[in-house]
Amino acid sequence: MNKCGKLISVAEMSDFERGTGMKRVVTMLLSLALFGVVLTATACRSSSFSESSRTGFALDTVVSITIYEAQGDVDGEVVLDTCFAEIQRLEKLFSATIAGSDISRINAAMGAPVVVAEETAELLQLSLQYAELSDGAFDITLRPVTTLWDFSGDPPSLPDKTLLAEAVSMVDYRHLTVSGTTVTLTEGALDLGGIAKGFIADRLRDVLLANGVTSALIDLGGNIVVIGDKQGDVWRIGVKDPLNAERLRAIISGKELSVVTSGVYERGFTLDGVRYHHLLSPETGMPVQNGLASVTIVCESSVQADALSTACFVLGESRAMALLSELDDVEALFIRIDGTVSATDGLVYTLQ
């Protein structure tokens, strides 16, 4: 059977919904379906490779990988097995909530040195680079603050002010040192939520390329990487409208790229007319209110796109633009809470 063009069907979505009953997962699947509409709009190119796709729940989100084309004798299902095993392996290193993960061990070490896997050391080094580049707007030592926020609480509530001030005083990426694979964190605790998915998406691209894949889509809860082209055409990747996340606001076109968005709609609640969301100021511990509703970064490296999307959101539009102007081959789309949009000069996109 030619499965070309199949991504997430509405039928699959309903099954998943029935199976879990989780509101957030359903919302994420709905958004995947939205991406599906856009991404399947192009025609199929005949190939001996039979398209393979898999969707699962990992990294606290819905993850989906679709292989469209591959060279040589490739069994798509086996490659997908390898990819999902890799996601699990890396999640067990990077999660702050899985006991015994590298990050949990660092957080529990009370300042003592901890030997970690090479991947963890690499990701922490990259995190420090983005912390410096953004002048601390991106800071992975934020966990004392993030644990005080419960974005799914019903009814929602704000953290205690004294506890928040105490937590903020512990946040500083300079408390973290990485020497080879030895990591020391003198104060606070690590949260890689703003960068780990991008790092893992890059690793998955490496796995796919090493297995002869020439066209594929990796979607880790909206953290997108595309390999090659889409059946001879450019990829078209939807950017959600942060003011109404069931609709698209823009479509970004291109090949061989990663597209990552940080927005107010992902995790958060509205209380007394104020939107409290998960993009937090390391200086105040509060959700950043700077007129932005989302920032989308488009570049080749997904770890760069992920870290920069969070960093640029926290920096705000003008400081983010200044930072981006120093970087090569990185484009961005800013959507403001008043619904207006701006983008860097090189971004190829259309508004919806």
Tell me if 49 contacts ligand ADP by CB under 6 A: no
Q: Could you tell me how many residues of this chain bind Mg ion (CB under 5 A)?
A: 4
Please state the closest distance from residue 1 (CB atom) to ligand ADP, in A.
34
76: partner contacted, choices Mg ion, ligand ADP, none (Cβ within 5-8 A by kind):
none
Which residue type sits at 334?
Answer: F
String of contacts with ligand ADP for each residue 208-247, x by CB under 6 A: ---------------x------------------------
Q: What are phi and psi of 158, to 5 degrees?
A: -90, 150
Report how far apart, in Å, the C-alpha atoms of 185 and of each of 92, 188, 245, 350 are: 19, 7, 37, 44
One residue of 76, 268, 282, 285 binding ligand ADP per CB under 6 A: 282
Task: Give the number of C-alpha atoms closer than 13 A to the C-alpha of residue 269, restricted to the C-beta side.
Answer: 13
Q: Footprint of ligand ADP on residues 138-157 (CB under 6 A)?
A: 138-140, 142, 146
Tell me if 268 contacts ligand ADP by CB under 6 A: no
Q: What are phi and psi of 29, to 5 degrees?
A: -65, -35
Tell me if 105 contacts ligand ADP by CB under 6 A: no
Please state the closest distance from residue 296 (CB atom) to ligand ADP, in A.
11
Tell me if 310 contacts ligand ADP by CB under 6 A: yes
DSSP annotation of 297 reads: E
Please state the closest distance from residue 17 (CB atom) to Mg ion, in A.
27
Report how far apart, in Å, the C-alpha atoms of 327 and of each of 9, 124, 132, 136, 319 are: 38, 21, 14, 17, 13
Stretch that binds ligand ADP, among 79-87, 174-182, 306-314, 323-331 (CB under 6 A): 306-314
Stretch that binds Mg ion, among 81-89, 177-185, 191-199, 233-241 (CB under 5 A): 191-199
Q: Which two tokens stand for residue 286?
A: 């509060």
Report how far apart, in Å, the C-alpha atoms of 57 and of each of 29, 201, 328 are: 10, 15, 34
Which residue type sits at 203?
Answer: R
Tell me if 194 contacts ligand ADP by CB under 6 A: yes
Pairwise CA distance, residues 139 & 90, whole Å: 20
Please state the closest distance from residue 334 (CB atom) to ligand ADP, in A.
14
Strand 61-70's sheet: what is its strand order?
A: 52-58, 61-70, 213-220, 223-227, 258-263, 292-299, 331-336, 341-343
Residue with tokens 């698209």: 248
Stretch that binds ligand ADP, among 1-9, 236-244, 272-280, 322-330 (CB under 6 A): 272-280
One residue of 36, 136, 144, 194 binding Mg ion per CB under 5 A: 194
Q: Which residues contact 317 (CB under 8 A, 6 or more apart)?
A: 290, 291, 292, 334, 336, 342
String of contacts with Mg ion for each residue 294-333, x by CB under 5 A: ------------x--xx-----------------------
Residue with tokens 């949990």: 104
Q: Return the CA Rg of the chain.
A: 20
Q: Contact positions toward Mg ion, by CB under 5 A? A: 194, 306, 309-310
Q: Contact positions toward ligand ADP, by CB under 6 A? A: 137-140, 142, 146, 191, 193-194, 197, 223, 262, 266, 278-280, 282, 306, 309-310, 314
